[in-house]
Each structure stands twice: as structure tokens, then as C-alpha cells.
Structure 1
Amino acid sequence: MYYGLWTKFTTQADEGERLIELLLEAAASLEYVTDCLQYTVSTTGESDTVMVREIWTDQAAHAASLQLPATRQLIEQARPILLQVERMFEDQPHGGKGLV
């Protein structure tokens, strides 16, 4: 079974686009991390709100990814523009299109 995570990021005013750029860099940095099955960045109708959907092989793989140098660097770049990071929920994806 996989480990899934939905996270909501709220930025300071007019910083949403910058956060999107940073999160897409994070996604690109995970390209060869085989334990990361999905890292999707999206927006909602709420201004300055960005959502990230992650699916990992397991929770330990996700935790390990937070220690990667590229991830740590991007977190430090994002901190000054963030107002709130809210883990909406964790789930256990069972499969479907895009998951083997």
C-alpha cells in the first residue's frame, strides 16, 4: 500500500506564483527518486493558496525525502513567503490510473 499526502500552502500576499515555482522545482528534483510516485502542484480559487498531492511508496520514503539537500534548500527558500502549511490529510492510495 502507498502513502499519500495532501498539503495546503498559504503564502503572503502575491507570493503564490513564487511558491508554485519553488514547488515545481521540488517536483523536478524528485524526478529520479523512485519512491516518489506522484508530486502534483495545483491551485484553487483561493488567492495565494497552493496545494500539493504526493504519493510515495511508504511513509519512510517521504520522511527521507525531506532530508535531501535539494528539498532542504527549497524549504528554506519558501519559508519567508509562507503564512501557513497545513497537512490536509494523509491517505493510503490503493491504485488507479497513474499508479501501478
Structure 2
Amino acid sequence: MFYGLWTKFTTQPGEGHRLVEVLLEAATSLQDVSDCEQYIVSTTEEADTVMVREIWTDQAAHAASLQLPATRQLIEQARPILLKVERLLEDQPHGGKGLA
């Protein structure tokens, strides 16, 4: 069974696009991390809001990813433009299209 996470990021006014860039860089940095099954960055009609959907092999793999040097650097880049980070949902994906 996998570990899934949905996170909502709210940025300073007008900074949503900048956060998208940072989070897409995070997604690129995870390309060679085999425990990361999915890292999807999206926006909604809600201004200055960015959503991230992550699927990991397990919760420990996700926790370990937060200690990677690239991840730490990107967190520091994002911190000044963030107003709020909400962990909306943790779930256990069982499979489906795009998930091995």
C-alpha cells in the first residue's frame, strides 16, 4: 500500500506563480527518487493557492524526502512567500492508472 498526501499552499498576494515554479523544481529534483511515485503540482480558481498531490511508497519515504539537500533548499526558497500550508488529506492509494 502507498502513502498519499494532498497539501494546499496559500501564498502572499501575487506569488502563486512563483510557488508553482519552486514546486515544479521540487518535482524535477524527485525524478530519481524511486520511492516517489507521484508529485503533481496544480492550481485552482482560488487566487494564490497551489495544490500538491504526492504518492510515496510509504510514509517513511516521504519523511526522508524532506531531509534531502535539494528539498531543504527549495523549502527555504518558498518559505518567504508562503502564508499558510495545510495538509488536507493523507490517504492510502491502492493503485490505478499511472500508479504501479
Same fold (TM over 0.5): yes
Q: CA deviation at 1:80?
A: 0.2
**Structure 2 CA distance, aligned partners of 1:32 and 1:79?**
24
Which residue of structure 2 lines up, in the alignment, with residue 38 of structure 1?
A: 38
**Structure 1 CA distance, aligned partners of 2:17 and 2:48?**
8
| Structure 1: gaps (5+ residues) | none
Identity, % of aligned positions: 82
Which runs of at least 4 in structure 1 moved beyond 6 Å after TM superposition?
Answer: none
**2:75 pairs with 1:47:** no
**2:17 pairs with 1:17:** yes
**Structure 1 CA distance, aligned partners of 2:99 and 2:50?**
23
Normalising by structure 1, what TM-score?
Answer: 1.00
Deviations 1:22-66 (A, max 9, x none): 000000000000000000000011000000000000000000000
Which residue of structure 1 lines up, in the alignment, with residue 95 of structure 2?
A: 95
Paired residue secondary structure (2:89):
strand
Paired residue secondary structure (1:80):
helix
**Structure 1 CA distance, aligned partners of 2:90 and 2:98?**
18
Q: Give RMSD over aligned pairs.
A: 0.3
Normalising by structure 2, what TM-score?
Answer: 1.00
Which residue of structure 2 lines up, in the alignment, with residue 5 of structure 1?
A: 5
